[in-house]
């Protein structure tokens, strides 16, 4: 008798889920190019993957999901593509907000979205306000986000506090810095997923991912499904996380 195929979901240990999954959603443009389509169609296809992954994390009970939606460097792209991305964000929030709210998802933004078009800011504020009391998945959208700028922002805030006598330089430690980041109060990512086979961090959560497990998926973001997410979580659950100490199965190790 042939053995029944077991999906990745059935192999996941629900007691060892990542507390925080971060995703660099890469490959939309290349996906579209391979299909002889405009780059914008790749971004639209990627929106469907985002909806599926958010739902999957919510269903699994993952506490926090952070996605890299638009970086501070993405302003360098052609103006037509930037405009399309802004409009796509508005469309996503407008269409999905009711369902996200019904599923108890708490929407949060990481980054400086003041430079964004007014319509974008309106949709963002509405989404954040409507879902602010939800207790399910914390869904962080990193928008106009760059980790170096985030860290520089914290340095400026702390420098002003020192100048005003509100803080002593010797009192500045890792916890103080973490408490002033956009992710203040959240656990650091346990798992960082990047799609499209690229081996780069791309200025994403540099402080927060000091001991994050990295997983690179070969597929482009529009092809990233629930099963791909489950596969990444399974790989994560097989890792021996040492945080600088000696691993359980690696007694000969002396370094991180």
CA–CA gap between residue 50 and residue 107 (Å, rounded): 14
3-state secondary structure of 186: coil
Four-point Cα dihedral 25, 14, 92, 144, nearest 10: -50
3-state per-residue secondary structure call for 65-77: EEEEEEEHHHHHC
Candidates 5, 28, 59, 74; catalytic one = 74
Candidates 5, 13, 26, 112; catalytic one = 26
Compute φ and ψ for 224, nearest 5 degrees: -85, 115
- Class of residue 166 by CB neighbours under 10 A (exposed 0-12, middle 13-18, buried 19+): exposed
74 a catalytic residue? yes
CA–CA gap between residue 195 and residue 220 (Å, rounded): 6
The residues annotated as belonging to the active site are 26, 74
């Amino acid at each position: 008798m042939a053995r029944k195929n077991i999906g990745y979901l059935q192999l996941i240990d629900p007691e060892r889920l990542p507390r925080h999954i971060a995703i660099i959603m890469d490959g939309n443009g290349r996906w579209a190019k391979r299909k002889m389509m405009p780059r914008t169609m790749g971004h639209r296809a990627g929106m469907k993957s985002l909806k599926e992954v958010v739902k999957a994390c919510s269903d699994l009970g993952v506490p926090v999901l952070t996605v890299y939606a638009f970086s501070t460097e993405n302003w360098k792209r052609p103006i037509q593509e930037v405009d399309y991305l802004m409009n796509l964000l508005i469309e996503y929030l407008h269409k999905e907000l009711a369902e996200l709210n019904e599923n108890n998802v708490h929407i949060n933004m990481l980054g400086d979205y003041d430079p964004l078009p007014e319509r974008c800011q309106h949709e963002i504020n509405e989404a954040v306000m409507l879902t602010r009391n939800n207790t399910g998945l914390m869904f962080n959208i990193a928008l106009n986000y760059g980790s170096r700028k985030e860290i520089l922002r914290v340095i400026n805030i702390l420098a002003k506090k020192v100048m005003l006598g509100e803080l002593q330089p010797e009192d500045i430690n890792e916890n103080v810095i973490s408490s002033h980041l956009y992710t203040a109060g959240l656990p650091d990512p346990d798992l960082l997923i990047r799609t499209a086979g690229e081996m780069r961090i791309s200025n994403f959560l540099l402080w927060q991912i000091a001991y994050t497990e990295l997983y690179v998926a070969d597929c482009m973001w529009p092809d990233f499904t629930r099963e791909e997410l489950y596969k990444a979580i399974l790989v994560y659950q097989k890792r021996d996380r040492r945080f600088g100490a000696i691993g359980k199965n690696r007694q000969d190790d002396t370094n991180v």
